Structure 1
């Protein structure tokens, strides 16, 4: 622990990509970017921020291609960052540091300022995630920032308060298999409420519109407390339900409303009420309706992260990382850390709750065990509260050893039964100290990669192999900080099945200690449950949501015999015009399409746009210049157009999703199309 405080020094920018030294062998199919964000600047001149979570956000990414790795990092140029650099003080209230007067405001503005949700911080240091084909970063206020995943440049700010009237929002949105994105928000200006936001799958990918503009509130839950609301960091989602936990760490709105006058930080407005039960709110995704049966855990706990949730045999399984209390928040005050006073008690624990899905509790005897799943150790029994109303009392079961956090799973199993969760020991000094771990949630057994004492792994990212046959078939990517002088930080690549090290990419320069992030694939491969492949007159991709079909031809990579997609042609359903002659067709297969365009769903309109552009996709490293075999040929439907590879998302997202595009008329009429900024000669 003697060098532990080095994790919390100011991070340095490396604005231009620098090459990393690779030891070992990175799988040839792995191509993309591990993008992460976290607190990076803690000292503003002679002023030190109070808490780790107050640090000014810094973005960084490892780009992987052809077995080589580059690294770059940039500070998020938020309003909070720019004003703090000018004032050498935080001008917006952060989690543990109250705001100081804005030097750009006059004395009258300062005198009459009170709590204003529009004046909350936009220091989005918490998470980087994708919504449709765009990348955003967020903290837990109403502000979200779009960023350029290629350059890490800061783009426009999105105000969710103006769009959907929420004052706070979770930084962990979830996307279901149908392409809709959900998030949890809260409001207090018109009563204390929690809200579920839904962003439907974009039906037109050609406009490059802000997906948040289509966000709508689909469900509202009133707070159980008269003058407080529960702190939340994430929420859960199964196939049919959304799960929100109202835990007893409460934000006192009276303190919050006077925080600027009283010089309070956000953490100063929080209160722990261990006498309160943890309430599990279930909402039906189909209607937004809240389930009337009350579910509660009698023993209080605190949580940051949901792991997963799924239904099985009229039960809802909910897995969560819990703490006995929110003392974890007190550990990360920088004055304690820098004084070598980091506390190591209250380790996190993965716990499983099982909720029997019941219509009502009328006539059911008190104390009866309601969990009927074979071999289940978690319990659910009917109790009565102080008013005599019945509720389902939940008792969880511990899964595996305590001490790991930052849980991630194979994203294809989100909301569905799963077996493995990956995480790290973080800064905990227990069983998973300096480790990356994999826990089997069925048996509780764990596999571990363990570094040396001064190496601190960040949140892992699981990347499935293109032809994966098992849930854990792929790699785990982890950014590792080594706080020893003259020892490099590095990107760690692990075999997800064995947790053995495959490679590491060492960086000459400091790597920040990030919180959360995402993997952005460069190469295009099919990944969308809404498309089903059959063999009727050649493979047919049928979009089950629009009930319209597009003929698709699949071909294998020459000489590989692989069943995964290598190339495909597109037919336009309206005109039945063939875009290109097919390659050799493989056997019919089932495939998915979610990781293309930053995991944004390919919609029917996207497919039609590609067809109109006379475009062939060349995933897995194939392109029109290097691919073997006969070149596709066919009628030039669009005069002056050229075949070209769709730009890889992390390099040319802006060109594909740029505003100002207009749709063409039916391609069979030979109309010119402006789409994706691609023009023919003479235009």
Structure 2
């Protein structure tokens, strides 16, 4: 096993408390060196379309900038919201500050020098073609290897993970940082590439692959941006895909050494699953007993080599095939064995919501699309088009049930080959009016039965082509047969576009929805943004922290809240 060292690069920033992660397209990230795309679609009043502001470029803000707070922030809410985009720090006394930093400067400089996008990207080479160029990977070395990656030589800024167990502690850095705050901050993306950032200054420290933790993973091409981390055991799980005539999926568990964080982490390959379909997976599912690889349909052509032909992932996907079933591969976390396979009608998803063991079954909640053409719906020229733009396909909250896992495991025990597939069951799917994406739940209910799910929703009542509401769904009402519309509660404000709501529970709370939701909102009227704080019970606003007028909060996807009291 290769030692995963932590090495710094560049100058250290100020040591003030945590802030944000900027994830803009590298070629256009610096507003001082690249012109903003023009906005040609205007309203009858000849003002820029308010919803288009979220696609503009934003400059770095390296020093904490104080924001204007309206309302009353709960006194217990002190910490930092790390985002794949602008983020915020909530300080004692209800003060809020904002900071952001570029984390792919070497890549940006290379693009500027070449005056073109080089390497392999997630979507079109033109960085303004699609919204996913902002939020996903460049694929580049992460997918196909090559020269050693530098500290900021690729864009790895999708999912932040605190206290990643695959890194050994650097004693010198630990002494410098002290005991407060997280041990480390690691960003993941959809390739076999991770980036370590300083959790205080957000200084990019280094890029590395899963192969830096274990040599056997060097050949893997992709991994879901969303890992699964068991909060009780601190075990980290991912699924690595290796391209080839037969696709190989490795289900991997990473744990901190029992000797302590100064020693090499433990890495185990729990199962190897083969398939003729190499598929783009952004997330997967896990329960307290099982890992479930959700093999939906978004398949790479030519065994994955098509990514090199086209120079991007989006164009290399095969067309949707209604005759190809989706699969769920169930891997026992304790036995380290592929114990069951289930099949369902074809679908596509970016995000799983939650999953749990239920009296011998596995329950999986997923934000499901009919097919992966939704990726193509997010071309920027479409989303910016006030008069002729097409609303993207919307995801539906769908509950799958995988029945009698122990029975399926017994049937497959000792047999050669992979378990024979059996049908999965759909317990329910919410109506289209209750469309649901960018999910969040109370973290205490992760991997457990739960009642409330939070996300974003498109109402259809505004001209925006993306989300304009934050949604709360009461799953118990759905299970009891209530109308889907009566099971949902919303927050909405005119010409505002919310991001993923992050649930922060009230300390020592006993009720599942006792807490607040944090969301970064684009305010199209003022062409600025604010951090919104909602009461998670009532979905009513408690407070907001406003950015200066003219400072845009761009559309962004994911984040994690870290309270000031977090243990290292």
Q: TM-score range by the shorter chain?
A: 0.7 to 0.9
Give the drift of 1:391: 2.0
Alpha-carbon distance change, 464 to 393 in structure 1, aligned in 2, over 3 angstroms = closer
SS in 2 for 1:596: coil
Deviations 1:177-209, CA, capped at 9 Å, x for gaps: 2111111211125952111121114535563x7
SS in 2 for 1:351: strand
Alpha-carbon distance change, 202 to 447 in structure 1, aligned in 2, over 3 angstroms = farther
The residue aligned with 1:238 is 287
Deviations 1:313-358, CA, capped at 9 Å, x for gaps: 2221111110111121011122333444432153211011111124
Alpha-carbon distance change, 332 to 432 in structure 1, aligned in 2, over 3 angstroms = closer
Alpha-carbon distance change, 124 to 286 in structure 1, aligned in 2, over 3 angstroms = same
Q: Note the residue ranges of structure 2 that are not aligned, 5 or more in a row.
A: 1-42, 44-48, 128-140, 166-182, 412-419, 479-486
Q: TM-score, normalised by structure 2?
A: 0.74
Bigger relative CO (Cα 8 Å, ≥ 6 apart): 2
The residue aligned with 1:8 is 55
- 2:469, 2:492 within 8 Å by CA — same for their partners in 1? yes
The residue aligned with 2:225 is 171
Q: What is the CA–CA distance in structure 2 between the aligned matches of 1:78 and 1:197, rounded to whole Å?
A: 31
The residue aligned with 1:471 is 512
Deviations 1:388-415, CA, capped at 9 Å, x for gaps: x772243341146532210011111111
Q: Which runs of 4+ in 1 moved over 6 A?
A: 426-432
Number of aligned residue pairs: give it: 457
Q: What is the CA–CA distance in structure 1 between the aligned matches of 2:472 and 2:342, rounded to whole Å?
A: 30
Q: TM-score, normalised by structure 1?
A: 0.62
Q: Note the residue ranges of structure 1 that are not aligned, 5 or more in a row.
A: 39-58, 101-112, 365-388, 524-594, 598-683
Correspondence list, 1:127-526, <5 A: 127-130=159-162, 131-132=164-165, 133-162=183-212, 163=214, 164-165=217-218, 166-176=220-230, 177-188=232-243, 191-205=246-260, 207=262, 214-223=266-275, 225=276, 228-254=277-303, 256-257=304-305, 259-260=307-308, 262-271=309-318, 272-292=320-340, 294-297=341-344, 299-340=345-386, 341-344=388-391, 346-360=393-407, 391-399=422-430, 401-425=433-457, 433-444=467-478, 445-452=487-494, 454-484=495-525, 486-508=526-548, 509-523=551-565
Q: What is the CA–CA distance in structure 2 between the aligned matches of 1:69 and 1:337, rounded to whole Å?
A: 31
- 1:361, 1:390 within 8 Å by CA — same for their partners in 2? no
Alpha-carbon distance change, 361 to 202 in structure 1, aligned in 2, over 3 angstroms = closer
SS in 1 for 2:476: coil
Q: What is the CA–CA distance in structure 2 between the aligned matches of 1:426 and 1:149, rounded to whole Å?
A: 34
RMSD of the alignment, in Å? Answer: 2.9
Q: What is the CA–CA distance in structure 1 between the aligned matches of 2:221 and 2:421, rounded to whole Å?
A: 33
SS in 2 for 1:86: helix
- 1:421, 1:439 within 8 Å by CA — same for their partners in 2? yes
Q: What is the CA–CA distance in structure 1 between the aligned matches of 2:259 and 2:389, rounded to whole Å?
A: 50
Alpha-carbon distance change, 361 to 179 in structure 1, aligned in 2, over 3 angstroms = closer
Alpha-carbon distance change, 391 to 156 in structure 1, aligned in 2, over 3 angstroms = same
Alpha-carbon distance change, 501 to 296 in structure 1, aligned in 2, over 3 angstroms = same
Alpha-carbon distance change, 319 to 153 in structure 1, aligned in 2, over 3 angstroms = same
Correspondence list, 1:27-176, <5 A: 27-38=74-85, 60-77=87-104, 79-98=106-125, 116-118=144-146, 122-130=154-162, 131-132=164-165, 133-162=183-212, 163=214, 164-165=217-218, 166-176=220-230
SS in 2 for 1:229: coil
